[in-house]
Amino acid sequence: MKSERVNEFKEIHYKSISEKISGQIDKKSISVISSDGKLDSFITLRNTESGKELKLSNKGALISQKLADYYNVKKGEYFNFKDNDGKNYKIKVANIVEMNVGHYIFMSNDYYHKTFGEIAENNAYLINLKNKSASNISSSSKIFLDKSGISALSQNSALVKTVRTAVNSLGTSMTVLVVVSVLLAIVILYNLTNINVAERIRELSTIKVLGFFDKEVTMYIYRETMILSAIGILLGIVGGYYLHNAIITMMSKDTVYPKVVELTVYFIPVATIILILSILGFVVNFRLKNVNMLEALKSVD
């Protein structure tokens, strides 16, 4: 596997297993990787909670977080694993690793032998290229596949591209929804304020005639809109939090998406609504200033 294109490589034992996990509709493709040494240079194995780097253990296997969810297991627990021949094996979870795409089981060669009762013979390579550009990865893949001893090749860049496409599509959809929501908020608040002013114009005229200042007259009617908007913002934040979790859970079928929401995601919509309310407040104030109060008082309901 030595080549001027290759920065470093490592021999491993690899096999792909398709298993029907209890509670899941479709079969899951699980990659089993075993090695006699460290994988740090090729695969980052981090604990899902602490973020600490993990090493292969002779006392158990490291499994990806989505796979741990499917098997409903935690660190130190066992789960039943069935290979492609239908044989059942009991595997202990040494730790759960952060792996956002795919389902993986990482083992040391000793634990692989202990679990499956066979020696983990090296049949695959992990490779790091010197030049990691997309064009070089593509050309290198063709060169490797032309070699007689290589039957298949898996690229991390392809997985990254797939996830990035899904995230970009979701981002575009969210942008459209946000724009539509802002326009809807403008229409609702504007119409609500107009109706409120039109229905209560005589009441507002009476208050103004009694000596109230323009700002006081505006706040008399606009205070209700502000209170309703504040209630809507609070309900929107709470509802949005749970809706976000529901959408991410639905999307995370075989891919893990973080459920962490930055404060800016909450701040920007709230600031937008406050800006809309402020602009409408000036519009209402200007309108009430120019209303002929005496004519309004003379008008018949």
Indicate if the pLDDT at residue 201 is higher than 70.
Answer: yes
Query: How much is the average pLDDT of 246-270?
Result: 79
Query: How much is the average pLDDT of 151-168?
Result: 75
Q: What is the pLDDT of residue 292?
A: 64
Number of H helices and E strands in the chain, helices first, is 8, 7
Query: How much is the average pLDDT of 253-280?
Result: 83
**What amino acid is encoded at 223 in this protein?**
R
Query: Which long-range contacts link 27-33 to residues 24+ away (Cβ below 8 Å)?
Result: 28/67, 28/70, 28/103, 28/254, 29/102, 29/103, 30/67, 30/103, 30/104, 30/105, 31/102, 31/103, 31/104, 31/105, 32/104, 32/105, 32/107, 32/112, 33/104, 33/105, 33/106, 33/107
Note the pLDDT tens digit of each residue in 121-136.
Answer: 888 888 888 877 777 8
Q: What is the pLDDT of residue 291?
A: 67
Residue 81 has phi, psi (to 5 degrees) of: -125, 130
Query: How much is the average pLDDT of 78-83?
Result: 88
Q: What is the pLDDT of residue 87?
A: 87
Indicate if the pLDDT at residue 142 is higher than 90.
Answer: no
Tokens for 34, please give them: 């075993």
Of residues 216 and 299, the one with the higher pLDDT is 216
Distance CA 17, CA 81 (A): 10
pTM greater than 0.75: no
